[in-house]
């Protein structure tokens, strides 16, 4: 199976390349770094490949798509460009019961953003099961490593001579409350309004945890902590990459237990339900470079090719 990664030398592209390079069922088409912006060379590779990963900024991804003229070439995009586009399938297999079938049959799949993945996994089941009102005034906080910012941010954090002292401390960003993941968060959960979203970047490379606080009195039927946990556990029962931790395991969680790096190096997402009946906190932990990007992309590729979903993951 011929696969080409357009944007192979970026953070997500390198991660996908690492996951695929030793697989005997994949033939990776590649270009030397000096040709990474050579339109003719890229076009030839994209039209030769059966699967193309686009690991590019939004506008570059849209431009790259116009270069693909081979009707049998299937595309998996990691940018924000197509995540709310009706012509593309959202690449979150755990979204709804038939999402895997949609991904498998599609020629165009858009991989979710890392913050959006944690949010949608936490919120969507509660909306689908009628627990969370669609007009709920929802908020979302996410703590993440700096790799999610791409090469410029990575270089800023890793350049000891140029970084300021402030980078050693957590940094809130997107303070205008217009983060690029918001449209997919709203659309892929069925909420009437976008959440109030505050992301925070920290001085470590990868790993993230997103938290959604809920007031029990504002939920349909006023469910308690156990009810919310049971709803999430039932929704994800049997899922290979999403696990809802048992309440007994998190009843007396120490302060460090929400460590955002616990899922690093995997394609796993762990969901925890914390708090009490009146105030419930749903937390989702994942690797922003795994289930939040490259791992999810490979998971979608496996489904599109009819291979074992967990292959290489």
Positions annotated as catalytic residues are 114
- Give the integer Cα–Cα distance in Å for 276 and 132: 16
Beta-carbon contacts of 136 under 8 Å, excluding residues fewer than 6 positions away, are 191, 214, 218, 219
Sign for the pseudo-dihedral over CA of 123, 126, 127, 128 = positive
Which strands, in side-by-side order, build the sheet including 171-172? Answer: 171-172, 196-202, 139-145, 208-215, 279-286, 269-275, 242-244
Beta-carbon contacts of 294 under 8 Å, excluding residues fewer than 6 positions away, are 12, 15, 16, 18, 19, 78
Residue 10: count of CB within 10 angstroms of its CB: 18
- Give the integer Cα–Cα distance in Å for 178 and 239: 32
């Amino acid at each position: 199976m011929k696969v080409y990664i357009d944007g192979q030398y970026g953070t997500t592209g390198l991660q996908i390349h690492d996951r695929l390079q030793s697989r005997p069922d994949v033939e990776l088409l590649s270009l030397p770094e000096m040709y990474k912006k050579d339109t003719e060379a890229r076009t030839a590779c994209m039209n030769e490949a059966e699967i193309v990963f686009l690991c590019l900024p939004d506008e570059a991804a849209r431009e790259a798509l116009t270069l693909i003229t081979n009707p049998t070439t299937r595309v998996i995009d990691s940018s924000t460009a197509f995540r709310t586009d009706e012509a593309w399938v959202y690449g979150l297999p755990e979204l709804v019961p038939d999402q895997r079938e949609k991904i498998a049959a599609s020629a165009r799949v858009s991989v979710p953003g890392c913050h959006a993945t944690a949010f949608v996994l936490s919120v969507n089941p509660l909306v689908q099961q009628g627990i969370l009102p669609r007009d709920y005034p929802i908020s979302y906080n996410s703590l993440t490593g700096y790799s999610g910012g791409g090469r410029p941010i990575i270089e800023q954090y890793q350049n000891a001579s140029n970084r300021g002292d402030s980078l050693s401390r957590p940094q809130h960003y997107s303070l205008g409350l217009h983060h690029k993941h918001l449209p997919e968060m709203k659309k892929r959960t069925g909420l009437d309004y976008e959440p109030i979203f505050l992301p925070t970047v920290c001085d470590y490379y990868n790993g993230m945890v997103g938290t959604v606080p809920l007031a029990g009195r504002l939920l349909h039927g006023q469910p308690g902590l156990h009810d919310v946990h049971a709803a999430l556990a039932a929704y994800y029962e049997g899922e290979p990459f999403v696990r809802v931790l048992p309440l007994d395991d998190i009843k007396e969680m120490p302060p460090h237990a929400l460590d955002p790096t616990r899922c690093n190096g995997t394609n796993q997402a762990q969901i925890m339900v914390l708090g009490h009946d009146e105030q419930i906190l749903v937390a989702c932990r994942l690797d922003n470079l795994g289930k939040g990007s490259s791992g999810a992309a490979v998971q979608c590729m496996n489904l599109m090719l009819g291979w074992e979903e967990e292959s290489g993951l």
